[in-house]
Chains A and B, each alone.
With several copies, the nearest count.
Chain A
């Protein structure tokens, strides 16, 4: 199995979710994260003190899926999350050795 982790722009979450649903991925886990990268941050002003904030709000989506679906998932996310502007984010794919569904104890693919 593979874990696909994507860091995306927050307002793209809904579209990505829909894209994944379209390819019948019906489980995912989402975390609010802060990203640092090429995309420039913004400045905040408090009583004349200027702070530059370079961590930007991003959303991390994690999907664990079977080997054969992995590429499809990556494509779906990439298409849905893309705006073409800097800061669109990354997708990382890594190996997962085992999966368990807590409710039933099912393992492997059945657990997804």
Chain B
């Protein structure tokens, strides 16, 4: 009861605060328009390119669709009684982070740098983030276009984690966790790697579309979460089969589709060939990884599975992400092949060995795939593809591997430690896990009062 009141108040505050701010802002006298409005009032500079803007806006829409895609990918893999609860995790994260990002997330991640560690609060509530380009980030599109493109990355990252604690997490705690994790883990790592002045950015480590920022941060946090929340009731003894694999395949397909925006959109421009190159290697790595995964299964278990094909595709998408703006098509085949085989092994050999219940393999796919991709970027990157990048080991520059390694390590440690503490604290205060009885009944009925399917 007490906890409920706390939760309720937190949620209330989450809404009321901005409301007050806005109300004031909105009522600012016309003669002295609010900061946001002022910024937007300035005549749009001529530098905006219509093709680049069209591309980035479309890419934003594509990346937005990935999170519902993930909802289906994950939702199909759980039991019927948890279908809605699992889908809800991803779906509501789109809402939660969209608001968090506008209010303070973007400012923390990309705002004026404070010591290489975090962005400042100058851009709270998007103040100063207008429609003219911000050449620091993207010279030919409105600043807000960059902001909202980045928003979709901030959205999907915590959603990836939810695979680790599927089928047993308390919804209210999940809600609070998401806001805190985005603020304390995602926003800082994002700043380190992509923010102007971020320390990993300055170091010269490469991460085109989010190998460290998105996949390692979420995958490693997922591992922490799986360890802390513990196994599902019946794990390894009962049959816990996916309730709707066509849904999972549809989710994987939407992820693949949306990922073109994720990776090729990260060129932040349509011209110049970089978006095209990223598009091509993304598709090639994904295809190869899907084949590699089912091939590994075929050899090891005698049958290629459909869930394997879908999982392999996602593993390939993950692994090519950091490399997508720096490598050519042949390298992407190698990266994809590695992703398929490594993630398959992580998921089907190592996980059972170690015995933790990363229910939908958020760590096995995103942690492992993201790490492989970040390292592989250090191997295969070439300035022939992207002159703003760097050469990797196989192009004569072993130093890049070192930098990639530092970036990977820093992300691993930071994500693991902060997530671990965060979840422990939440466990003591709000409780992470639903009761055993509720777990038997399922998330849908106990957390949401709904059934996924009726007649």
Is B305 touching A46 in the complex (CB atoms < 8 A)?
Answer: yes
Closest to A56 in B: B441
Is B297 touching A44 in the complex (CB atoms < 8 A)?
Answer: no
Is B440 touching A11 in the complex (CB atoms < 8 A)?
Answer: yes
Closest to A42 in B: B445
Q: For the complex, is A45 an interface residue (Cβ under 8 Å from B)? A: yes
Q: For the complex, is A48 an interface residue (Cβ under 8 Å from B)? A: yes
> Per-position contact with B for A15-54: 1 when CB-CB < 8 Å, else 0?
0000000000000000000000000001111111111010
Is B347 touching A47 in the complex (CB atoms < 8 A)?
Answer: yes
Is B297 touching A45 in the complex (CB atoms < 8 A)?
Answer: yes
Q: For the complex, is B128 an interface residue (Cβ under 8 Å from A)? A: no
Is B349 touching A46 in the complex (CB atoms < 8 A)?
Answer: no
Closest to B300 in A: A48
Closest to A11 in B: B440
Q: A11-B440, A42-B445 are in contact. Are A47 and B238 (CB under 8 A)?
A: no
Q: For the complex, is A14 an interface residue (Cβ under 8 Å from B)? A: yes
Is A46 touching B352 in the complex (CB atoms < 8 A)?
Answer: no
Q: What's the tally of chain A residues with a CB closer than 8 Å to chain B?
A: 13
Is B449 touching A49 in the complex (CB atoms < 8 A)?
Answer: no
> Per-position contact with B for A45-67: 1 when CB-CB < 8 Å, else 0?
11111110100000000000000
Residues of A within 8 A of B451 (CB): 44
Q: A11-B440, A44-B451 are in contact. Are A50 and B445 (CB under 8 A)?
A: no
Q: How far is the CA of A89 from the CA of B165 in the complex (A)?
A: 32
Residues of B within 8 A of A47 (CB): 307-308, 311, 347-348, 361
Q: A14-B238, A50-B301, A51-B239 are in contact. Are A44 and B348 (CB under 8 A)?
A: no
With most chain B CB atoms within 10 A of its CB, the pick from A11, A42, A49, A53 is A49
Q: Which 6 A-B pairs have the closest CB atoms?
A: A48-B348, A45-B449, A51-B239, A47-B347, A11-B440, A45-B305
Can you name 7 A-B pairs with beta carbons within 8 Å?
A43-B449, A44-B449, A45-B301, A45-B449, A46-B305, A47-B361, A48-B297
